[in-house]
Structure 1
Amino acid sequence: QSLHSYNEGDFEGARRLGRNAKWVAIASIIIGLLIISITCAVHFTK
């Protein structure tokens, strides 16, 4: 979507969408690492 906005000439919209995509990616990495660490902690403490 960011690339489409950029190609349409909406540079501010492309920048905003790119920023949102970056934060969603960071959040998903953090959540994934939390799930993995909780799973390992539960598995290895039993």
Structure 2
Amino acid sequence: MSEKTEQPTEKKLRDGRKEGQVVKSIEITSLFQLIALFLYFHFLTEKV
């Protein structure tokens, strides 16, 4: 596998953002889901 030797130019980064090629963090999404699940069970067990 070849490695890139140069950083992408601003134009390439801008074009990538326009086309929807942005970095998405799976960890952040998982964190919010975990917090939502914790809060759901926390409030559910208070009523029982």
Instruction: Report percent identity of matched pairs.
Output: 9
**Structure 2 unaligned spans of 5+:** 9-20
TM-score, normalised to structure 2's length?
Answer: 0.51
- Name the count of aligned residue pairs: 34
Higher RCO structure (Cα 8 Å, ≥6 apart): 1
Q: Deviations over 1:1-31 (max 9, x none)?
A: xxxxxx811856xxx68x22x2x11110110
- The aligned residue for residue 45 of structure 2 is 43
* Structure 1 segments of 4+ aligned residues over 2 angstroms from their partners: none
Within the candidate set 24, 34, 37, 2:36 is matched to 34
Gaps of 5+ in 1: 1-6
> Whose helix fraction is larger, Structure 1's or Structure 2's?
1
